[in-house]
Amino acid sequence: MGSILRFRKLCYAKRLNIQSYESKKFDKKNDGIVSSSEAVMEELKKRKLRKQPQGWRCIDSCCWAIGHLCTAWWLLLFFYHILPTNLPGLQVPESPGQKLRREGQTALHPVVLVPGIVTGGLELWEGRPCAEGLFRKRLWGGSFAEIFKRPICWLEHLSLDNETGLDPPGIRIRAVPGLVAADYFAPGYFVWAILIENLAKIGYEEKNMYMAAYDWRLSFQNAEIRDKSLSRLKSKIELMYETNGYKKVVVVPHSMGVIYFLHFLKWVESPPPFGGGGGPGWCAKHIKAVMNIGPTFLGVPKTVSNILSSEAKDVAFLRSMAPGVFDSEILRLQTLEHVMRVFRTWDSVISLLPKGGETIWGNLDWSPEDHCGCDFANIKASGTNSSDFKTNNSDAKCSFQLKERVKYGRIISFGKIAAELPSSQLPTLSFKEFLLKKKANSFCGEVWTEYDELSRESIREVADNKAYTAETLLNLIRHLAPKMMQRAEDHFSHGIANDLDDPKYAHYKYWSNPLETKLPNAPDMEIYCLYGVGIPTERSYIYKISPSDRCKSIPYRIDGSADGTHNGCLKNGVYFVDGDESVPVISAGFMCAKAWRGKTRFNPSGMATFNREYHHKPPSSLLEGRGLESGAHVDIMGNVGLIEDVLRVAAGATGEELGGDRIHSDVVRMSDRINLRLVSLLVTIGDVISLLVIISGAGEQGRVCHPLTNGSGSRHHLAMTSNAAVARC
Amino acid sequence: MQNIRRRKPSESEPSKPPETNLPDSDDDTKTTQKGPKRESRKEESKKRKENKNKWSCVDNCCWLIGVICSIWWGLLFLYHCLPSSFPQYVTEAITGPLPDPPGEKLLKEGLTAAHPVVFVPGIVTGGLELWEGHQCADALFRKRLWGGTFGEVYKRPSCWVEHMSLDNETGLDPPGIRIRPVSGLVAADYFAPGYFVWAVLIANLARIGYEEKNMYMAAYDWRLSYQNTEVRDRSLSRIKSNIELMVATNGGKKAVVVPHSMGVLYFLHFMKWVEAPAPMGGGGGSDWCARHLKAVMSIGGPFLGVPKAVPGLLSAEAKDVAVARAIAPGVLDSELFRLQTLQYVMKMTRTWDSTMSMIPRGGETIWGGLDWAPEEGYDCSKKKQRNNNTLSASHEESGSYSSQRKNVFYGRMISFGKDVAEASPSEIKRINFRDAVKGSNIANGTCRDVWTEYHDMGVQGIKAVAEYKVYTAGDILDLLHFVAPKMMARGDAHFSYGIAGNLDDPKYENYKYWSNPLETKLPNAPELEIFSLYGVGISTERAYVYRLSPSMDCNIPFQIDIAADEGDEDSCLKDGVFLVNGDETVPVLSTGFMCARGWRGKTRFNPFGIRTYVREYDHAPPSNLLEGRGTQSGAHVDIMGNFALIEDVMRVAAGATGNDLGGDRVVGAPPVVSRCLAENRFFASLMLKPQGARVIATLGQSIWFSLF
């Protein structure tokens, strides 16, 4: 090192003395030291004389700058580590865990955490040669370093087989087990970590807390077939129930985990081989409460745009900012196409398509959300308690009534005009016509999306159909991606059951759809819907045919130029409603607010349901990170209000002790606008008149009085009448 | 950004256009001639020069750091660009093609995953993480305190010791502290970064199709007594539930259990627990083991205890520490910085009940008396003696006892003074210490914060201990009761060290007997197979020469007498430690006896005739540095990377029986390797490879590491 330094010094000295010294003079000084580098010096000097010593100086200053940066960085790091974790000046708000601990709450019921889609880590157990050295390393979650190092290899390993929806031969990717699976998604980006930490403060640890990690790419039943995930979950719940003094379990699923757990509830009571064979009383015996966070009960409209063109709001926005980046053929990127190919092999995605068709999501002219404006930020943050909850409130929450209603029901419309036209003027084209015309053109190469098999005409004809509702949308996707839908529809269903007692509903493909299953017979169990509100959430899209005619490209894309005047409802080709940024309120709240409220045909044992909404407040300062009162889909896991609710229930509180419902949004009114039959079909057959009475009665009660305050009476009444009806039948 | 901005003004000077620079340097040389005319300019240039000089030093440093960083990054980049199998290419280029790893080999043979596999890690190897701590451990929530990098040991040692200790009354958590075992395969796949424990076995099993659904790491808090892991963490219930689940979800295939080191005793305890009725037991019914277990493949199982545990408990030292003390006397005892490392370590380890499960069992019957020991005749010279033929049923007492120069009395596990260790039994005068009055407290107040029970013993007690001269395995229990009554009182509730007279005695239903193979019956599972897999060919601690430590005030009063050395390469006595054949930690006697004799056939310990097999793996040190810890190692932990052992485990997991493997595998004639050479190699490796755990062991931060 010394000699390097000296060498460098020389160079500097040299530069200063170029003019004044004879070269010999200079060299004499350092004779002994640098005789060997004399020749180099000569050379250098000559070069410097000829042209200015720019090159040397440049490298030099680069090194200098790097050195400086490194040192500064290390110093900062050092100081950061030396600093106490709690600065005395900074007032750290008391965490909910500490607060409850001070109140004397301790761990009582075991807690099961069920992560959602995307947030769970996946690791490699067996791979192709290109993934050498990655055994038991995370391919999903963590630092995602492999994406940049070997993107093709990474995509290949994360895909599933597009025939079976299971592992491709020679590749085994498995879910990371344990709490580490989803405590942090990436370093510093918490998912469950804060909730876990707060639970630990009141005494939770591994023996009474379990993360039910599963491979979220698979369909739910396949997770059992391949990994035995459902069996493991069952065994873990039974174990924790037994080893914690026979205290029932509190389950906390998040996002897609909610419908995964719904599937589990049916699975565990069904007989083998398809079910877990736990018997009809299993849920009543083992589960105290299900606290769904950001539930996706009725699907997520975002999924549609993901499946159609593997883009969402963010991508569309990016594209409008920098057109051409995604489409550039340079480096053969085709990012979106590759992403789409991988995405379409994941069955679980299909489970997130909107469920319930036009009844829930609205038809060409009508939608449950269309009576309100889109000014979510101005919705008052003041919570309403169940006690003083009245119908009038929901009117007050609508900032104003719109003259022309947004047609949210048209989830996909081709062109802005189609999105706004009255339905009578829309062209209607049945799918059967162009299903016949479908033919495969020349195979476009390695990128497998089923678009390659569609002819140009049929692509255009799809666009000519102009507007799609939640129901016709399924046909559209079946048409555009027949293989994917064929695979996935063995596992998922998106309809509404007419007669829940129909034996066909014993099939597992209906288990994750709340509109086609009954809740288990567990009257003491409680179901919570905890979700954020106050953030604009994607609801429907304006599409266009993508301009480039190349093969291999995705033929449709969101029309980023469609910006509306609907008071901000339409932005960059996307219509927004109230929600938690990913899931609209209707999907998150409807089941708890209406369809399961009281004794309905979906909830025959009448278990109690609670809606708890958390109004979004962006973090006030940078120090707060992702915010203590966020309502966003994932960030809500750090919301102190939500954490406190979960902790209280885990420590033994019931929903009524929490304060019952806590509603900010318009969910009750929206739910009332949805015309879904909530009583058993037998009743209608039996007695039309009594049906009318019941429906109008139930409707009134749902609107006027809260089932919690007045519910027992009405429930009783309902049961009485339906019983009578059955008897008459 | 600021840095760059700051840099700019200074940089602008040297990079000024030459036009301004040229006259400047002209000035420097010509000022003398041109005189005061340009004094102002001269000063200016001087300033500038000073400036240059000023920043040249800092500048040079920065430059240097920059260069180093850039080169480092460059190298790192190149390293990452290389294919990850590069080291393997190099190795193969040097030593010729490597053998296929067992996973690869068996995959080619067509073996696939059949029986679910359960790993039971041993003492020390499992990770522990913080769930609740005192103020000083803020921000360490769910970070590993044990295992991993051990970063906290250096950052806040006293905090670390405080958190790792258990309550010395109950043997459970101290108030306000919750340390819990890490769960899952990550608990013990690597002990420290790069120091594998189970990782190699796991990787090989994965090759033939194992994954999380049929592989389970039964992690438990290895500091607790076995029954307390159930009381506090429900660890035994979790193992039971997981085995049941795996058996049910893998088509009713029974589980293969692979315990290592102390995990062997833990699983022995489990097998009794699971069939015992609730509330003390798991209530699985008397045929639980028969229904759920196919084979138990104990790796390096200290069935009868480990002699190493004795000096560990007595003076918190083992061979390594003794050597470290010999090399640098005074370091461990220095009062500078109030280190007292050993005392702190002792205080901590004495709160761990599990260490007491490792005390030699079976007393003088097994470990030998004053003038007798089963290993008698073991030749420590260069020619390795097969010492196990006294144990192995197949080689009945046929070993050729080569000419003995001097008889070694292994039965004397602790002797005070070398002369005593070698004297004939009649010459030793022993004064009974058991009734000795413990003297007044010698400790002054300053020693008080280091809690070891030695302070209650007083000078007389210590003298009395030394006066007894020689301790056999049976005496050692009394000795420990004498020097550490509180600890042993705690331990006696959980462990027992005797041999049962009548196994049907109802007292043996107490859980304290369950982990002692000499006081329990094996379960009624005639189809179960028990394997004992262990390494041989490494000299292993067996007995110790002790002395009173020179300074009396705050120190531990006893020390291994490192001066006791034959000075002869062939001797069994090295640095105050008598050595026998074993796997570096556990002597063959302890690992092999039960499977070779105690359980062989239908015995009273094995009333249902469970078949047992002994599989020995002769130690061969890694041939070069690139091989890491070797693929044929027999050392206690390194054996987990032994290809032959892995292959055996995998074959059984894939369905083979003990007979398919070839029954017993007893090392008959080990290759002629100098024991001393092997030992030198060990110490050499200790210096050469500062891999986390070893370094810690030598630093005396965790003496118990060597006690696996």
Per-residue pLDDT tens over the stretch B462-479: 788 888 888 888 888 888
Predicted confidence band at B113 (pLDDT cuts at 50, 70, 90)?
A: very high
| C-alpha–C-alpha distance, residues A219 and B492, integer Å | 53
B337 to chain A, closest Cα gap in Å? 21
- The answer for residues whose C-beta is within 8 angstroms of residue A579's C-beta and 6 or more apart is A532, A533, A535, A536, A537, A539, A585, A587, A588
Q: How far is B516 from chain A (nearest CA, A)?
A: 26
A574 and A558 in contact (C-beta within 8 Å)? yes
> Under DSSP, is residue B28 helix (H, G, I), strand (E, B) or coil?
helix
Give the pLDDT mean for A554-583.
78
The distance of B87 to chain A (nearest Cα, Å) reads 12
Q: Percentage helix, strand, coil, to 5, in chain B?
A: 45, 10, 45
B 187-246 residues with CB < 8 A to A: 189, 202-203, 206-207, 211-213, 233-234, 237-238, 241-242, 244-245
Please say whether the beta carbons of B215 and B263 come within 8 A: no
Q: Look at residue A708 in the predicted model and tell me its pLDDT.
A: 37
pLDDT of residue B367: 87
Q: Which residues of A fall within a CB distance of 8 Å from B3?
A: 65, 68-69, 72
Q: Which position has the higher pLDDT, B647 or B379? A: B647
Report, as residue numbers or ranges, the catalytic residues of B. Answer: 261, 583, 636
The answer to whether the beta carbons of residues A718 and A694 sit under 8 Å apart is yes
Catalytic annotation, pick one of A167, A347, A580, A645: A580
Residue that the structure tokens 């005749």 belong to: B377
Chain A hits for B33, CB-CB cut-off 8 Å, are none
What single DSSP character describes residue A481?
A: -
Mutate to test the interface with A, among B5, B142, B232 (most CBs of A within 10 A): B142
Is residue B143 within 8 angstroms of chain A, CB to CB? Answer: no
For the stretch B22-73, pLDDT in tens is 444 444 444 444 445 455 555 555 555 555 555 577 777 888 888 888 888 8
Determine contact, residues B47/A81, Cβ cutoff 8 Å: no
In the annotation, is A387 catalytic? no
Query: Where is average pLDDT lowest: A142-146, A273-277, A710-714?
Result: A710-714
Query: What residues of chain B, 416 to 435, have a C-beta less than 8 Å from chain A?
Result: none
- Distance CA(A345)–CA(A358), nearest Å, equals 27
Strands (E), A372-470: 384-385, 412-414, 467-468
Strand A535-545 to A412-414 pairing: parallel
Q: Band of the pLDDT at A548, cuts 50, 70, 90?
A: low
Residue B219: the pLDDT is 92
User: Which residue of the set A633, A661, A664, A722 is catalytic?
Assistant: A633
A-chain CB neighbours of B67 within 8 Å are 4, 63, 67
B26 in contact with A, Cβ within 8 Å: yes
| H helix or E strand, kind and range, residue A544 | strand A535-545
Separation of alpha carbons A568 and A280, rounded Å: 49
Annotated active-site residue A255? The verdict is yes
B56–A12 CB contact, under 8 Å: yes
Name which of A68, A177, A201 is nearest B3 (Cβ-Cβ).
A68
Kindly tell me if the per-residue pLDDT of A398 is higher than 80: no
Nearest to B235 by CA among B244, B222, B249: B222
Chain B residues inside the 8 Å CB shell of A135: 203, 206
What angle is formed at CA A266 by the lines to CA A265 and CA A269, rounded to 5 degrees? Answer: 90
CB contact under 8 A, B63 and A15: no
Residues from chain B that touch A171, judged by Cβ atoms under 8 A, are: none
User: What band does B644 get if pLDDT is binned at 50, 70 and 90?
Assistant: very high
Residue of B nearest to A133 (CA): B84
Residue A307 has pLDDT above 90, yes or no: no
CA distance B246 to chain A (A): 9
Instruction: Answer whether residue B299 shows pLDDT above 90.
Output: yes
* Tens digit of each residue's pLDDT (9 = 90 or more) over A616-651: 988 877 767 777 888 889 899 999 999 999 999 999
CA distance, residue A151 to nearest chain B CA (Å): 14
Look at A180-189, A355-364, B381-390, B601-610 and tell me which has the smallest mean pLDDT: B381-390
Among the partner-chain residues A64, A205, A238, the one whose CB lies closest to the CB of B180 is A205
A-proximal residues of B, 614-633, CB under 8 Å: none
CA distance B360 to B303: 9
B178 has a chain A CB within 8 A of its CB = yes
Which residue is listed with tokens 């049976």? B474
What is the predicted pLDDT for the residue at B238?
A: 93
Q: Tell me if A65 and B244 make a contact (CB, 8 A cut-off).
A: no
The Cα of A63 is separated from the nearest Cα of chain B by a number of Å equal to: 4
Cβ distance B184 to A177 less than 8 Å, yes or no, reads yes
Q: How confident is the model at residue A16 (pLDDT cuts 50, 70, 90)?
A: very low
Summarize pLDDT for A183-207 with one digit per residue, the tens.
888 888 889 999 999 999 999 998 9
Whole-angstrom distance, CA of residue B183 vs CA of residue B404? 51
CA atoms within 13 A on the CB side of A226: 21
Residue B246 burial (CB count, 10 A): 25
Quick check: A126 and B207 CB within 8 A?
Answer: yes
Residue count (chain A): 729
CA–CA separation, A16 vs B376, rounded Å? 82
The pLDDT confidence band at residue A716, using thresholds 50, 70 and 90, is very low
Pick the most confident of A210-224, A394-408, B564-578: A210-224
Confidence (pLDDT) at B339:
54
Cβ atoms of A602 and A684 closer than 8 Å: no
DSSP lists the bridge partners of residue B129 as: B144, B180
Compute CA B540 distance to the chain's CA centroid, rounded to the nearest angstrom: 14
Of B261-275, B588-602, B689-703, the poorest mean pLDDT is in: B689-703
Number of Cβ within a 10 Å radius of residue B15: 16
**In A, which residues are within 8 Å of B22 by CB distance?**
19
For A17, the closest chain B residue by CA position comes to: B25
Rounded CA separation B129/B144 (Å): 4
Q: Chain B residue closest to A14 (CA)?
A: B25
Mean pLDDT of A144-171: 84
For residue A67, give the nearest of B52, B64, B207 by CB distance.
B64
Phi/psi zone of residue A291: left (φ > 0), alpha (ψ -120 to 50 degrees), beta? beta
Q: Do B212 and A227 touch (CB under 8 A)?
A: yes
Lowest mean pLDDT among A456-470, A668-682, A698-712, B66-80: A698-712
Chain A, chain B: beta-carbon pairs less than 8 Å apart = 147
| Cβ pair A538, A301 in contact under 8 A | yes
Q: How far apart are alpha carbons A492 and A510 in whole angstroms? A: 6
Looking at residue B255, what is its pLDDT? 95
Residue B257's beta-bridge partner residues? Answer: B118, B296
Closest Cβ opposite residue A65 in set B7, B181, B238: B7
d(CA B320, CA B147): 20
